[in-house]
Chain A
Amino acid sequence: MNFDARYAAQSFKSVGTRPIRPDGVDKVTGRARYGADFNMPGQLVGCILRSPHAHAKIEKIDTSKAEKLKGVKAVITATDLPDLTNGDAAMYDILDNCMARGKALYDGHAVAAVAAIDARTARQALKLIKVRYKVLPHVTDVDEAVKPSAPLVQNDVFTAGVDPRPTKPSNIARRSQYGHGDVDAGFGKADIIVECSYRTEQTHQGYIEPHACVASVNSDGTAELWVCTQGHFVFRQHCAGLLGLDVSKLRVTSSEIGGGFGGKTHVWIEPVALALSRKAGRPVKLVMSREEVFRASGPTSATSIDVRIGARSDGTITAALATLRYSCGPYDGMWAEIGAMTAFACYDLENVRSVGQEVLVNRPKTAAYRAPSAPMAAFAVESAIDELAGKVGMDPVALRIKNAAKEGTRSSYGPVYGPIGIGPTLEAVQKHPHMNAPLGRNQGRGMACGFWFNFGGQTCTDLNIGVDGTVTLAVGTVDVGGSRASLSLVAAEELGIPYEQVKAVIADTSTLGYNDMTDGSRGTFSSSMATISAARNAIAVMKERAARMWDIPVKDVDWEDGHARARGKKHGNLPPLSVKDIAAAAPKTGGPIAGHSELVADGAGVSFATHICDVEIDPETGATKVLRYTVVQDAGKAVHPDYVEGQYQGGAAQGIGWALNEEYIYGEDGRLQNPGFLDYRIPVCSDLPMIDTQILEIPNPNHPYGVRGVGETSIVPPLAAIANAVSNAVGVRMTHIPMSPPRILAALDGKKAG
């Protein structure tokens, strides 16, 4: 059916309220079932053997002893996952990452796996597998990897996007470029130019729930997979493709998900579990340890970024240029490209160019992490903007307002903006009491802006009306942070019924049409659009049923406030029919009542945020304490404000961890030194202050309620906001993230030394 997704102003009854989430009681009582909380009859335990080397040729794998161990039901290597990718390079990389084919490309790369009757036997079996490696030279550092002398991670990668094609292979897999205008001419017009290089270290999403799944493959080619994922439909396609199963014969159920932040948008252990189950003829449960999560699931990129910005003495930016090198792990990605697209997206620039380089290194395959690639680019650019403000002698907020993008601005990555929130967030920050609060000794304040695209994508929902008038909403976007509550509010709003009468569930892949995954902040944006569409379709059915009940033409039936109403004087004395009334009569008026929707949610509406941060530095130890933190972000329309605030606060907290302490530390041997929560330091409760939020609502013209994605933008400004605050506190520009105490102390010493 036709669906008009355009924004229409309205007053809301349900949307914008803060009810308790439908999955809440299960989650506070321990009943909610996550990836590792599910079991199947006859289930085996799977375990994966991983490479201890950063880079090595796998000369021989002898599994014979492991196979003979009592209780072992299957042992697999890459040969049990034959290459069915048919020339699809991206799929081949996924396959190779799930199980090394000939070469181990990072410390932690899977090389073999076993399924056994219990964990003890499986662990014993792993020890009996003998792998003969020929260790190869490795490179883990992004700047080292681009040097001509660096060891090659892949022997056959020739930089794409360069004309003519290079004649020699290198670790730069691809070059991308964005921008417009004449950058050289722009710098020519500048009175002041700032130029600096920045580095950020690799971080992990750090979800508390390790990857987990239960796989069961039957001899008739049907299969089931229970898994914690951000996108079970995408997992189905990838797994079916890699295993050679028919897509529709693999039923994937998404468990409750214990955090993902992008890291659960990629398959890692699932094809392995399915291959083990196929070989063993029994269900297999496979759960990563925390160490495996760090060593072998996707961290974000380490980066090295050069920025050059020129401005006239009145603060108008005349040219902006950035070169961004992002590590991708051993496979080509689009991480530097996204960085290049987002780097200058906050500003209205006449001359701008950004160049991205995807750099291969012997580290785990880079995965998406909340607004992937944008925080590092924002760190570099927003640091440079602060430097520029200092040189021009302007207030950093005023300088940003002067150059901010607005409706009609051609963005640095191409499209022309509609109504956007960068100006309003900056103005809100300028007026915010936080900006004028006094600061003490060794304290500093910083602010910074951030941008994220937001995605839409393929979406499908079913809305079924029960015989008692209550509603089941089946959606296919995994709920990562409260979207079932938000979508229930939307269904209640459209139908005109109380929130409590709607129950939203996440349907499995066999009971609902295809949905893209919950990424790109699309969950609530796109599924609410589909929910509105499905509800309106259900209302159309209910109007027909009411017409039948009244025996009047359907064109005379209106829908208002959860009731069918007969229009016109001739039907004047017909009392309105509620959803409950219509539902009760459904068996006699044509059967079940439902509304369905399948759509591609276009026009996700870009999102901007501006953050303010106060820090205090201990000048003798270099320790940083975050004293105060404020997030101002445009939500378009906050459907459930609690969970919008939650996204703002969670993204800010992750950004604070990234800015100050989190980093992957590799030894000279190419091995990860800190694969655990003790030494990979995500913020603990006592590290943080309350995180204040201010929700702005600048309606997205492409959504009926004006909703924009809100999940990711909040992690974009913190690196820069905190770097600006620390730099202001210590009087030295901090150019290396994380700003760990040794780095800050070294900077302070450098300053003293002059």
Chain B
Amino acid sequence: MQYERPSSLKDAIGLLAKAKGNAFVLAGGSDLLARMKSGHVEPDLVVDIKSVKGLGEIRKTASGFAIGAAVPCAAMGESTALKKAWPGVVEAANLIGCKQVQGRCTIAGNLCNASPAADSVPALVAAGAKAVIAGPGKKRTIAVEKVVTAPGRTSLGKGEIVVAITLDKRPSRSGDAYLRFIPRTEMDIAVVSAGVNLTLDQKGRVKSARVALGAVAPTVLLVKPAAKAIIGTKLDEAALEKLVQACSVACRPIDDKRGTVDFRKKVSGVLAKRAARIAYKRAGGK
């Protein structure tokens, strides 16, 4: 295995573009090194992007936030502005693994690892986050939900790197939340998870919403009928019941070591309902 630590994005892309064999980007490494240890991957090349200028920063931009691909999730929790604007996204990032893992892992890495159970992804999808992708061709920006195509697979081309995740500026009366179900209280992979992001109108009714579910399908699901169920409502019981139903219907889960089909179908709705209530409250709803 070859280890490279380029200091420019151009060099990083160049190394990945011309690599023969298995090439991997090393951002936080919390997935990559664990997979190397278990023998699931045997890289020929690892490109460490932590020394690439700018990738280790959270930037406040005119349109919102840009979170560099090498920013550890722990640093997101230390950013007061980010936490205030996107509490659900930060919560999700700070649920990954444990404190030690959060000192390393990144949301870009969490996304590109392409696990259906990735903690930060449903929150990002609900938030309408975008991935900024650099590569041998033109820089492009796509919706986060377009990055992962199947478990372990992404739409990234050879030599392409997700360099940042961007989050929009918040309209007033907005809130987001992320909840996951794990059998323990920490140190677990989501059995099922839900992210909800919403904005209220002046009367406290949900004006717009996005609901995303994790670990219930090959990729994170953006569940439009679930959002529709709460739009125009103040999250009354009937609306929440519709949300629950929409989530359960949208799930296409499997039985595995972490949970059953039945369990995931039921609990996805429960979590979406609870996350919606939290987001609603954060948006100032009563």
B189/A679 in contact, CB under 8 A? yes
The answer to the question of A595 belonging to the interface, with a C-beta cut-off of 8 Å to chain B, is: no
The answer to the question of B262 belonging to the interface, with a C-beta cut-off of 8 Å to chain A, is: yes
The answer to the question of B202 belonging to the interface, with a C-beta cut-off of 8 Å to chain A, is: no
The answer to the question of A310 belonging to the interface, with a C-beta cut-off of 8 Å to chain B, is: no
Contact residues, B37-92 vs A (CB, 8 A): 37-38
Residues of chain B contacted by A660 (CB below 8 angstroms): 183
Interface string of A619-642 (1 = CB under 8 A from B): 011110000000000000000000
B188/A678 in contact, CB under 8 A? yes
B266/A745 in contact, CB under 8 A? yes
A68 to B38, CA, bound (A): 26
A28 to B181, CA, bound (A): 35
Residue of B whose beta carbon sits closest to that of A120: B1
Interface string of A96-116 (1 = CB under 8 A from B): 000000000000000000000
Given contacts A741-B263, A742-B263, contact A674 B257 (CB under 8 A): yes
A681 to B258, CA, bound (A): 10
The answer to the question of B260 belonging to the interface, with a C-beta cut-off of 8 Å to chain A, is: yes
Pick from A621, A665, A683: contact of B181, CB below 8 A: A621
Contact residues, A682-697 vs B (CB, 8 A): 683-684, 686-687
Interface string of B249-273 (1 = CB under 8 A from A): 0000000111110110011001000
**Prevailing SS type, chain A contact patch:** loop
Q: How large is the interface on B (under 10, 10 to 19, 20 to 34, 35 or more residues)?
A: 20 to 34
The answer to the question of B185 belonging to the interface, with a C-beta cut-off of 8 Å to chain A, is: yes
| Closest-CB distance, A108 to chain B (whole angstroms) | 14
Residues of chain A contacted by B263 (CB below 8 angstroms): 622, 741-742, 745-746
The count of chain A contact residues (Cβ–Cβ below 8 Å) is 25
Residues of chain A contacted by B189 (CB below 8 angstroms): 678-679
Residues of chain B contacted by A621 (CB below 8 angstroms): 181, 267, 270
B257/A681 in contact, CB under 8 A? no
The answer to the question of B186 belonging to the interface, with a C-beta cut-off of 8 Å to chain A, is: yes
A48 to B105, CA, bound (A): 32
B257/A741 in contact, CB under 8 A? no
A661/B262 in contact, CB under 8 A? no
B187/A679 in contact, CB under 8 A? no
A678 to B188, CA, bound (A): 6
A742/B262 in contact, CB under 8 A? yes
A620/B267 in contact, CB under 8 A? yes
A742/B188 in contact, CB under 8 A? no
Interface string of B173-201 (1 = CB under 8 A from A): 00000000101111111010000000000
The answer to the question of A237 belonging to the interface, with a C-beta cut-off of 8 Å to chain B, is: no
Contact residues, B10-37 vs A (CB, 8 A): 37
The answer to the question of A191 belonging to the interface, with a C-beta cut-off of 8 Å to chain B, is: no
Interface string of A648-682 (1 = CB under 8 A from B): 00000000000011000100000001101111010
| Closest-CB distance, A446 to chain B (whole angstroms) | 20
| Closest-CB distance, A286 to chain B (whole angstroms) | 17
A681/B262 in contact, CB under 8 A? no
Question: Which one of A620, A681, A687 has the greatest number of beta carbons of chain B within 10 Å?
Answer: A620
Residues of chain A contacted by B267 (CB below 8 angstroms): 620-621, 741, 745
A337 to B186, CA, bound (A): 38
Residues of chain B contacted by A673 (CB below 8 angstroms): 256-257
A681/B260 in contact, CB under 8 A? no
Residues of chain A contacted by B188 (CB below 8 angstroms): 678, 681
Contact residues, A288-337 vs B (CB, 8 A): 289, 291
B187/A684 in contact, CB under 8 A? yes
A75 to B181, CA, bound (A): 46
The answer to the question of A740 belonging to the interface, with a C-beta cut-off of 8 Å to chain B, is: yes
8 more CB-based (< 8 A) A-B contacts, given A684-B186, A687-B184, A746-B262: A621-B181, A660-B183, A677-B187, A678-B188, A683-B184, A684-B184, A687-B185, A741-B191
22 contacts between A and B (CB under 8 A): A620-B266, A620-B270, A621-B181, A621-B267, A661-B183, A665-B257, A673-B256, A679-B189, A679-B257, A679-B258, A683-B184, A684-B185, A684-B186, A684-B187, A686-B185, A687-B184, A741-B191, A741-B263, A742-B259, A742-B260, A745-B262, A745-B266
Query: 7 tightest CB-CB pairs across the interface, nearest first?
Result: A742-B263, A686-B185, A673-B257, A620-B270, A665-B257, A661-B183, A742-B260
